[in-house]
Amino acid sequence: MVNTEHSTGMTQVNHPYDDLNEQSPQEECGVFGVWAPGEEVSKLTYFGLFALQHRGQEAAGIAVGDGEQILVFKDLGLVSQVFDEPILESLRGNIAIGHTRYTTAGGNTWENAQPMFRMAPDGTDIALGHNGNLINYLELLDKATELGLVDPDKKPSDTDVLTALLANGVGNGKTLFDSAQELLPSVKGAYCLTFTDGHTLYAARDPFGIRPLSIGRLERGWVVASETSALDIVGASLVREVEPGELIAIDESGLKSIRFAETTRKGCIFEYVYLARPDSVIKGRNVNEARLEIGRKLAAEAPAIGDLVIPTPESGTPAAVGFAQASGIPFGQGMVKNAYVGRTFIQPSDTLRQLGIRLKLNPLREVIAGKRLVVVDDSIVRGNTQRAVIRMLREAGAAEVHVRIASPPVKWPCFYGIDFATPGELIANAVTSDKEAEMVEAVRSAIGADSLGYVSIDAMVEATEQPANELCIACFDGHYPMGMPQGNSNAELVQKMQAARSS
Ligand code: SF4
């Protein structure tokens, strides 16, 4: 078996715009897989990855299997920067998996871009893509090191270690399905996986079902994707979600499935609030509808007097529409977003750097001048973006700026695949007071708003139409359903902060 991995030679990227303003919460990755003999699987995957671009903009890759070998092409950059027609033409086969990456574990290097490739002891090619974060990485690393599969000095990513262990279990009559069934119960953390041995497409979801993963049907094949919007773009119809703790295999004999662990469903509520595309459906609930409803509830819980409701584009838009509907205040677009400027590789000059937020957002003066604005945003993490936006709106002539947030205060970091900030960087932790009103007033003052209001946890949960006990809301309430990772300084800090608050 032969593996070919290609690179344009880019190695490490520090995004030149990252210091201009904080990033929004970053999704770690998007995964895609297709089994469709006779179809152009690499192109289907390319378009699937386009629909998942928002889940990771640092690297992209596609692995294609033709039954003989697996070819992997991956590189740093956006999907459209990594692939072109000749590359996709060269990736021919019956099966493909694809990946878009945002770095939360391991550096942003070509080696850490996915799909990962490993060869099993019996020579079987294996490629794997992962969305999530493993919390028992050190345990798995020790195991892989003892077996001589990885070099710990090279700091392999959690996905690399997982792929190495999976591949190692193949052979002596054991298939990749057998290996996954054996290994996955010992893997702790958030994971949605698509993987292949070149013959069969596999997918698996952690027993808590933290990240979404759906199965779709093509006329002559099957698709698995992080979000249903990626099924739509390739013309696949939604069959169902991969269930928490489920491992599936798809080949010419159809879809085979097993449950590899006891499950406790805890879907990430932040997928509804911010991360997923508004046209995706998660556990039967359209994300746009959930955001509209959060906006309506926000208007009821934290009303404002104003002339115009405007969103912080794009993610604040559905909640702003909902707020306008419920409050009766007209909705308008007060800012225009320069999409993806934050992910360009071109260095801004010093003069451009001074423009700060203006590189990302531009105010529409004619719309906002002299108005009392109600600005609806999806979340406040560090508060830097809101502070810059409010200053920009005032400079553009806004009479008042009232900020309404379509999620409760983010107080705790995520260990399950989302990159927020360290606990100390979260603006909601800047005040040690236990009184919510004092915290809100401190944040209002820090960002320079005329007033500030958040939606409550209960209202946000209701808007998702999911049972409260089936959702992870740890970044808001600090209760981590799977626990926290080993050897992680943020986890140790959270434990100390929680102990101090309960004493
Ligand atoms: S901690 Fe927050 S972002 Fe992370 S999985 Fe839970 S709800 Fe989602």
pLDDT of residue 421: 73
What is the amino acid identity at position 120? Answer: A
H helix or E strand, kind and range, residue 234: none
The reply to whether ligand 1 has any atom less than 6 angstroms from the CB of 381 is no
Alpha-carbon distances, residue 227 vs 279, 316, 448 (angstroms): 9, 19, 37
Average pLDDT of the chain, as a whole number:
89
Q: Is 258 within 8 Å of 246 (Cβ atoms)?
A: yes
Can you tell me the distance from the alpha carbon of 270 to that of 500, in angstroms, rounded to the nearest whole number?
26
pLDDT of residue 11: 31
- Cβ-proximal residues to 289 (8 Å cutoff; 6+ apart), any chain: none
pLDDT of residue 4: 41
pLDDT of residue 353: 56
**Residue 475 labelled as part of a binding site:** yes
H helix or E strand, kind and range, residue 231: helix 228-233
Can you tell me the distance from the alpha carbon of 161 to that of 139, in angstroms, rounded to the nearest whole number?
10
Question: Quick one: which atom of ligand 1 is closest to the CA of 270?
Answer: 8
Tens digits of residue pLDDT in 31-50: 999 999 999 999 999 999 99
Q: What is the 3-state secondary structure (H, E, C) of 276-290?
A: CCCCCEECCEEHHHH
Under DSSP, is residue 455 helix (H, G, I), strand (E, B) or coil? Answer: coil
Question: Quick one: which atom of ligand 1 is closest to the CA of 420?
Answer: 3
pLDDT of residue 58: 87
Closest residue by Cα to atom 8, ligand 1, is: 268
**Residue 378 labelled as part of a binding site:** yes
**Residue 472 labelled as part of a binding site:** yes
State the pairing for strand pair 70-76/400-405: unpaired
Average confidence (pLDDT) over 289-306: 98
What is the amino acid identity at position 253? Answer: S
Taken in order of first residue, the domains within the chain and their CATH numbers are: 3-11+28-265 (3.60.20.10), 287-502 (3.40.50.2020)
**Is the pLDDT assigned to residue 21 strictly greater than 70?**
no
How far does the centroid of ligand 1 lie from the alpha carbon of residue 83, in Å?
31
pLDDT of residue 344: 47
pLDDT of residue 376: 98
User: pLDDT-derived band of residue 433, with 50, 70 and 90 as boundaries?
Assistant: low
The reply to whether ligand 1 has any atom less than 6 angstroms from the CB of 176 is no
Q: Is 200 within 8 Å of 251 (Cβ atoms)?
A: yes
Closest C-alpha among 454, 446, 418, 229 to residue 319: 454
29 catalytic per annotation: yes
Question: Quick one: which atom of ligand 1 is closest to the CA of 474?
Answer: 1
How far does the centroid of ligand 1 lie from the alpha carbon of residue 414, in Å?
5
pLDDT of residue 1: 32
Question: Quick one: which atom of ligand 1 is closest to the CA of 473?
Answer: 7
How far does the centroid of ligand 1 lie from the alpha carbon of residue 422, in Å?
14
Can you tell me the distance from the alpha carbon of 252 to that of 255, in angstroms, rounded to the nearest whole number?
9
The reply to whether ligand 1 has any atom less than 6 angstroms from the CB of 269 is yes
**Residue 151 labelled as part of a binding site:** no
- The one catalytic residue in 17, 23, 28, 29 is 29
